Every structure is written in C-alpha cells, then in structure tokens.
Chains A and B, each alone.
Chain A
C-alpha cells in the first residue's frame, strides 16, 4: 500500500505570494490532517478534513485554508506569505473514525524569503 504522498517536496517563495501544497492520503483513508512544524513550536495542528468537510481547525489565521476532494486528496493554501510561515508542512491520513493513529507524509519544506 502506498504511503501518504506530499508534493512538492521543497518550495521557495517570497513574502506576499501565495502557495498551494498537495497531499494524497493512503488508499481508503478518508481523513486528512495538516500540521505545521517549526523549530520553536513543534508540530501544530492546522485543520482536518473528512469526506470533503472541514471537521476541525487549529488556531491559525484565515490566510491558511484547505480543501478535500471527492477522492480524499487534499490541498492546503497559504495566502500573503510571511517570513514566519517558513516551516515543514506535514500531511497525515487516517481512516477517520477517531481515536486512531495518523500516518504522515514526508512533508513540504516551505521557505519564505
């Protein structure tokens, strides 16, 4: 079974631009979550989608948004990039029934210059 796939692997953007990250979950998994990892803050929850609906959202500004498609693939968008958005963005999938482990992708390393 293929794991969670994230594209692109690396991304360099400048302040003010916007970026879209993509995630393909494990086949059969209906839940996709996004996390941001920075050296100072560790892994912080962004949002979780299940069957194309956002089920849960973390404490991030509205510049961070996401969506999920009918095939469970998900995209995350960050608009008006700031220097502080430089981070490793991790996508995770799970069956979505709750109380279960998440399977993570390798992440997209975003650098904002």
Chain B
C-alpha cells in the first residue's frame, strides 16, 4: 500500500512564478519528511527536509510546509527557474520503525521560460 502519495503526476509553471508540489501521507508514525529532486537516469538529490516537530523549513528558494493534522506537506519553490525542471519525490520515515524511506511516485515539474 502506498503510504506516501503525490497525486499530481506533473506540473507546469512559468519561470519566475511559484511552484507548489503537494504530498499526502497515511502513516501517523512518520516523523521525518524529505524532498528529493531527480533527473532521468540519475540518483535522487536531497533538497530539503522537515522534522515532525516543525511546521516549516526554509532553504533559499525552497520551503517545505508540514500540516500534521491533515497529514499533508508541500514544497514551495520561489522563484521557479528552468533548471528546476525535474521529477520531485516526497519521502517519509518513522524513526522508531526502521530506517526505510517511503517515497511517493513523484511529480514531474516543468518550468517554462
């Protein structure tokens, strides 16, 4: 069963605008959440993470928001750049239940000039 869901397979945004990628999870034991960026035939690259004790984490153009009551997190990219075009994966883990990351199926972001 898919415990982490990214319901939008793709997203297209104009350069300079905000990109918002969404992620939902079902397991209330998840306490650590991450976003990865991936190009074809390459491994995922870590972008940003957030612990369940926080509701926001910011790193440059990237901000992750966590809403624990809704079991929802989102990644905001402001401003979006053409180089941001990639597949973005949301992942979650539960510290007390092992060390595996549960990934969503990804959202393909296209930033157009």
Q: Which residues of A contact B (CB under 8 A)?
A: 4, 31, 33, 35, 41-45, 48, 50, 55-56, 58, 88, 90, 92, 94, 96, 98-107, 109
Contact = CB atoms under 8 A, between A and B. Distances in A.
B43 A42 contact: no
Contact of B49 (A33, A43, A94, A101): A101
Given A43-B103, A48-B100, A90-B43, A101 B95 contact: no
A21 B95 CA distance: 28
Nearest to A47: B100
B104 to A, nearest CB: 7
Interface of B: 31-32, 34, 36, 41-46, 49, 51, 89, 91, 93, 95, 98-106
Contacts, number: 65
B81 to A, nearest CB: 22
B51 to A, nearest CB: 7
A63 B5 CA distance: 28
Contact of B89 (A31, A42, A109): A42
A29 to B, nearest CB: 12
- Interface centre among A45, A48, A96, by most chain B C-beta atoms within 10 angstroms, is A45
A56 B41 contact: no
Contact of A107 (B41, B91, B99): B41
A99 B44 contact: no
A90 B51 CA distance: 24
B104 A104 contact: no
B99 A48 contact: yes
25 contacts: A33-B99, A33-B101, A35-B103, A42-B89, A42-B104, A42-B106, A43-B89, A45-B100, A45-B101, A48-B98, A48-B99, A48-B100, A56-B100, A58-B100, A88-B41, A90-B44, A92-B43, A99-B31, A99-B51, A101-B49, A102-B101, A103-B46, A104-B43, A106-B42, A107-B42
Nearest to B97: A56
Contacts of A109: 41
A55 B98 contact: yes
Contacts of B51: 99
